[in-house]
A = this chain, B = another copy of it.
């Protein structure tokens, strides 16, 4: 009970509070995640999620923003999607001391600069999935998995997918986001109708059309809408067995 406890700041062994970031992007039609290579023990040489301490005068959200800017090299991250996933607090999750970590998921468009800025031994965008960079340091495999589950689910019932896109994008690019995250193909015709017909998801830009980079008819440009919740949701093709 908070009521029955003393507020002696030094009564217990102190907790350190950190943030860990799962930063996702779509590159070459596949979901990628930003990882850093650890330069020192424990877990030296292994990949880990970027992160760092929450400073005494900032919130976890501020710390996450700060780290995101550092790692991506972007001056302004205020427009990026950054959301809390959950907090990891198992004793012993860091062998050095008691560390409670608040995990965040960030969604960024494919960045012009190929690599992450920063200070760690190395940083790289690596394709998400059961890959060569596992296992990650600490409990970061679990954190990364939880973050992925969150964004995969949120694509269905929010307009989150636009957070992966630049300010102006084509519906083909938006569809690639869904296909990359869900690992499933979507019918372009039906996808267009659904997205355009869902109020607040995207809005057309009156201006001209753009070429997708290669052949094909130039596609119209859209920008993200204002809707956060989608009713009805944009369901992904049956992920498991029959439901009825």
Selecting from A92-100, A179-187, A211-219, the interface stretch reads A92-100
User: Do A15 and B13 touch (CB < 8 A)?
Assistant: no
User: Do A15 and B18 touch (CB < 8 A)?
Assistant: no
From B10, B198, B244, contact of A199 by CB (8 A): B244
Interface string of A54-66 (1 = CB under 8 A from B): 1111111100000
Known A119-B3, A157-B157: A243·B14 in contact at CB below 8 Å? no
Query: Chain B nearest CB: distance from A118 CB in Å?
Result: 8
Chain B residues in 8 Å Cβ range of A86: 84, 86-87
Known A5-B53, A197-B244, A198-B244: A100·B97 in contact at CB below 8 Å? no
Query: Chain B nearest CB: distance from A201 CB in Å?
Result: 10
User: Do B52 and A2 touch (CB < 8 A)?
Assistant: yes
CA distance A1 to B98 in the complex (A): 17
Known A15-B17, A243-B232: A58·B3 in contact at CB below 8 Å? no
Chain B residues in 8 Å Cβ range of A199: 241-244
| Chain A count of residues within 8 A CB distance of the other chain | 64
Chain B residues in 8 Å Cβ range of A156: 157
* Secondary structure of the A contact surface, majority rule: loop
CA distance A17 to B238 in the complex (A): 40
CA distance A86 to B87 in the complex (A): 7
User: Do A13 and B9 touch (CB < 8 A)?
Assistant: yes
Cβ of A130 within 8 Å of any chain B Cβ, yes or no, is no
Cβ of A38 within 8 Å of any chain B Cβ, yes or no, is yes
Give 8 closest A-B pairs by Cβ, nearest first. A14-B14, A60-B89, A87-B87, A59-B89, A231-B243, A59-B90, A1-B52, A15-B17
Given contacts A1-B119, A56-B91, A231-B235, 9 further A-B pairs with CB under 8 A are A2-B18, A3-B120, A12-B56, A15-B16, A58-B91, A59-B91, A87-B87, A157-B157, A198-B244
